[in-house]
Amino acid sequence: MQLILASGSPRRRELLSLFHYHFIVRAADIAETMDPDAPPAAQVARLSREKALAVPREAEDVVVAADTIVVCDHRILGKPRSREEAAEMLTLLSGRDHQVITGCTVLRGERSETFTQVTDLHFRPLSPGEIRRYVDSGEPMDKAGAYGIQGGAALFCEKMVGDYYNVMGLPVCRVGQTLKRLAPEMMEDSQ
């Protein structure tokens, strides 16, 4: 039995390593398209399932897949495609409440569990100079909503309600509980 992370995200790799169980990375190669008419939580749940099913695996392997988005004013913010788009996203989030939603799927053989985790955040008002400096750092470019809470954007967040690790891209407590149900022997080995 192998544990497979269906993501190339360095943050998810770091978070899954908290389980102290050997895993391999097989990034899922799927089209991450969003349906503008579907609820955001349903979108990330669907994408996480598609990622889990897309990676090669043996029957008893365990796959962990996730997809994370930021939602502000009913607008889904994925990864910015340009510096300008990153600045637009951060301007939208400035002084506002928003949500980070992660869809996760844990798959083992024919059994799987998919769930979503939501964290509510509030950013303080950001000046154009702060936004420009943060964008210039390059940090926003591979992150949903154009920010990494574990980096420079920690200076922007006035309030957070929910799972901090969810904002980083993998709600580890809930993933651990799901792994206990689908692969209890794996979790016993990691203790």
Low-confidence ranges of the chain (pLDDT < 70): 189-191
Q: Which of 67, 73, 142, 189 is catalytic?
A: 67
Q: What is the pLDDT of residues 37-63, one digit of tens each?
A: 889 999 999 999 999 999 999 989 999
In whole angstroms, what is the distance from residue 160 CA to residue 22 CA? 31
Instruction: Give me the pLDDT at residue 190, please.
Output: 52
- Contact 108/61 with Cβ under 8 angstroms? yes
Q: Considering the entire predicted model, what is its pTM?
A: 0.91
Q: What whole-number percentage of the chain has pLDDT above 70?
A: 98
Write down how long the chain is.
191
Task: Please name the residues in contact with 125: beta carbons below 8 A apart, sequence gap of 6 or more.
Answer: 94, 95
Domains of the chain: 3-189 (3.90.950.10)
Active site residue 67: yes
Backbone φ and ψ for 152, nearest 5 degrees, come out as -60, -25
The residue among 100, 16, 4 whose CA lies nearest residue 61 is 4
Instruction: Give me the pLDDT at residue 41, please.
Output: 94
Backbone φ and ψ for 37, nearest 5 degrees, come out as -90, -10
Indicate the angle between helix axes 128-136 and 83-93, nearest 10 degrees: 140
Which alpha helices (DSSP H) does the chain contain, by range?
10-16, 40-54, 83-93, 128-136, 164-168, 172-182, 184-189
